[in-house]
Each structure stands twice: as C-alpha cells, then as structure tokens.
Structure 1
C-alpha cells in the first residue's frame, strides 16, 4: 500500500490515478505529519516547483488541496504557510471530533458489515506494525485512515466529509504537539473498539471512542523542536526524482 497517497483520504476516485499535484500534495502532507516541516514554514511556490520539477500551477493546486484540509494556510498576496494551531485550537478540534466520532460510532454499530470490520482490523494491524518498527509518521497516517474508514462504514456522506477535515487537522496536531513520541497506544485502543463493534455493543464502543479522544488530547504538548523550515533540506530525499 502506498501509505503517503492513501492514508488521509484523498477524494474518492483519485487513489488509483496519481497526478503531479497528487504527488506534491502527498510529499508535503507526509513531511508535515512526520514533523519534518515546522509550523509557520513558508511554502514558497518557486522553491517547491524546483524541488519537485513541476510548474507553479501544479504547486498551487497541491497547496489549495492542503488548504482545504486546513493543514496549510493560504494567505492572499503572501503565499502559503504550514498551519500552526495553538493547543487551545487543538482542544477545540478534538472537541469537534468528539461530536462527529460519537455519531459515526453509533452508525457503524448499526450499519457495519463483517467484511468492513475485517478491513478495519487489517488497518490496525498495519498501524501496529509501523509503530513497532519505529515508523511513527506512517503509524499516524494509518491511525487517521482507521477513523476515516469508520466514517465510510457509517454510510453518511456529510459526516464523512466533515471527518476528513477533522482527521487531517488532528493528524497535524498530533505530529506537531504530541509528547511521548517513543510510545503510542492508538492501535491498542483501536483493537478494543473493533471488539466492541464486532459485539454490536454501542454504549461500550462510544465510551471507548471518547476515551481514545480524551487520551489524544491529554498527550498534546508544545515542546517540540524537531522540525525544520528549510524546504530543500526537508525534501532532499525527493530531489531529482521525476
């Protein structure tokens, strides 16, 4: 599975047809999630065009998509920057997710098919494997994909659309501000949630989901200086690739 392109729910129909802006979008989002781009970093169109070997039009399209996900801020006449939410904003986003996740979880209990639950379980196994081998960025992406898969299982398009935005923002917040980067329990909580879904235990599933989001919020911290604002250094691994 191409973790970069698939994880944070690109629009349906785009997964298997990677355009140039898909690739640029994926690389920038990946860098944000893995803490390789510092909050507030200016995303210079000319520099990014040189790095990825594409036109500024392609860069603008990719940045526009990232702006829609609210992980990039598009500033008129001043260019785009990586979003830098405060902890208070992070708490507000997590609170909003509670509202959506409660509804999603209840609908999943009502609508989920066994084959969908099996797919959900496979996602968590992949998430666990990523964290076990130290690939935290991929683990975070798969954690987000788990929640988006649940939203698809809920079979409510408006909720799915809202969830896409919230999961993207939460993934950015986690990548920027989560403390205790050497440990991660999301997959344990996801496995517990799947068990409740299999048993069609709605009250327990909702309770587990709320506990999971509480846990995410409590681990947020501003003490993180691991990222960089040097675009060429961040994307050195893709320079020269066409």
Structure 2
C-alpha cells in the first residue's frame, strides 16, 4: 500500500475546534424537516458521534422503533441508517435479533491501528516540511484546549479533542478523502478503546501531542514521523488486546 500523497496544492477551511465546556447539543432533531436521505444521514451522524464520544457502548442494542420515534421518521429510514453504519463496521446486524453497536475483535483492533500508522506517518511526512506558521499557531490553540479538558477532567471533551488532533493534521494536508478515511478509523478506535482500554493516560497522550507539535515547529520530519509512530504504538500498547485466558478451575477451587 503506497504511503505517498500528492503535494499539497489547495487549502481548505480548518476543522472547527469546539471548546470542551460547550453546552450546545451535538445534533438537533427537527421532525419532518428533511427528505429521507437527509434524515438517514442525521441518524448515521448522531450514532457515529455518540460512539466517537463514548456515549454508546459496544454491544448496545439499537431499537428501530425507539430511534424512529426520536427522529420522527419511519422504521424504513432507520433501517437505511443501520445498513450504512453496518457498511462502516460500526453496527452489526443480526437476523431475528436486530442491530447492535459493534464489538471489534483484537485482530480488527490491530488492523485499525496498523492502518492509522500508515496514513498518519504519511500525513506527517507530507505536512511537516511545508507547514505554515499559521497552522503551527492553530495546533498550539488545539493543544491549549486539550490541556484545559485534561486538567478539568472533562472526559468527553478531552476524548473528542485528543482524537481531533489527528484530524486537524490531516485537514492541513488538504485531502478531504484522507480526512474522511481517518475520521472513520478514529471512530472505530473509540469503539475499540471502550472495550479494551486499560490504563491509557490522557496526560500521556497530551504530552506526546506537545512533542509532535514541537517537531512540526522545527520542521524536523524525521523526529515528527518517529513521534507520531511512537504515539500510536503507545495508544495501542495500552489496549488489552491479549487478555489472559480464564482458568475456571483455579478461580473456583480456592
């Protein structure tokens, strides 16, 4: 798989960074305000957002009727949303049982982080030599928001901001397909972390982000690539991907 992207030739609007203390709802549900396709996308976006921000746990059953009532749409529209989420591997559809938030396997988790490493180190190699002072300032602004969320123990805010750091870097490359791919991988990473995260420290991730930005500021491509790769390795290392087998005899015969 090639890790080389075309040179950055166009600029895009930077990702909007939302302060962690914002009380605004993520999605406003307006009944019967959009055609079926738009309503389907609103459901997809809401469920995806809830997974990314750790409000929906792996294995949660999704009721067609209940979601239809929340969005005031037909069950057909809800099924269309479930089908789309299933294609994105965020929802599992089980015959005669319904729809459930996916529970990724250890193998899937490894594949997700391997793919992220390929994409994100490629982003770093491309962006680091050409990053502008304005983009460096944007990264420092983002770090300040991360720090505030971590210090205030704002769990949802820090989760969103720590993940968005990687999207901000991808957005700066100017390749929207890349941003979409990484966004999907980050959502799946959130699902994996919900199941398998052990002692991952938000403070550790913040410190690693600071080091990455320092390398970008020096335009030190080699150091930036090394730090990004190490950061992703550390995140994966803090996931319980190889749980010990339970010996029932040893547990029960005490």
TM-score between both structures, scaled by the size of structure 1? 0.73
8 Å CA contact retained: 1:5, 1:22: no
- 1:182/1:23 Cα in 2 relative to 1: closer, same or farther (>3 Å)? farther
2:153 maps to what in 1? Answer: 134
1:205 maps to what in 2? Answer: 224
Q: How many equivalent residue pairs?
A: 211
For residues 92 and 61 of structure 1, what CA distance do their matches in structure 2 show?
27
1:86 maps to what in 2? Answer: 105
- 1:105/1:98 Cα in 2 relative to 1: closer, same or farther (>3 Å)? same
8 Å CA contact retained: 2:54, 2:190: no
8 Å CA contact retained: 1:4, 1:30: no
For residues 4 and 140 of structure 1, what CA distance do their matches in structure 2 show?
17
1:160 maps to what in 2? Answer: 179
The offset of 1:73, in angstroms, is: 3.0
TM-score between both structures, scaled by the size of structure 2? 0.70
For residues 147 and 80 of structure 2, what CA distance do their matches in structure 1 show?
33
2:116 maps to what in 1? Answer: 97
1:180 maps to what in 2? Answer: 199
For residues 124 and 133 of structure 1, what CA distance do their matches in structure 2 show?
14
Matched, 1:72 2:91: yes
Question: Which one is further off, 154-163 or 79-88?
Answer: 154-163
Deviations 1:184-221 (A, max 9, x none): 42121111111111110000000000110011001112
SS class of match (1:185)? helix
For residues 210 and 181 of structure 1, what CA distance do their matches in structure 2 show?
16
SS class of match (1:179)? coil
8 Å CA contact retained: 1:73, 1:81: yes
The offset of 1:41, in angstroms, is: 2.1
For residues 106 and 147 of structure 2, what CA distance do their matches in structure 1 show?
27
The alignment's C-alpha RMSD in Å is 3.0
Unpaired runs of 5+ residues, structure 2, are 1-17, 28-37, 243-254
Matched, 1:117 2:136: yes
Unpaired runs of 5+ residues, structure 1, are 7-18, 224-242
1:10 maps to what in 2? Answer: none
- 1:104/1:21 Cα in 2 relative to 1: closer, same or farther (>3 Å)? same
SS class of match (2:99)? strand
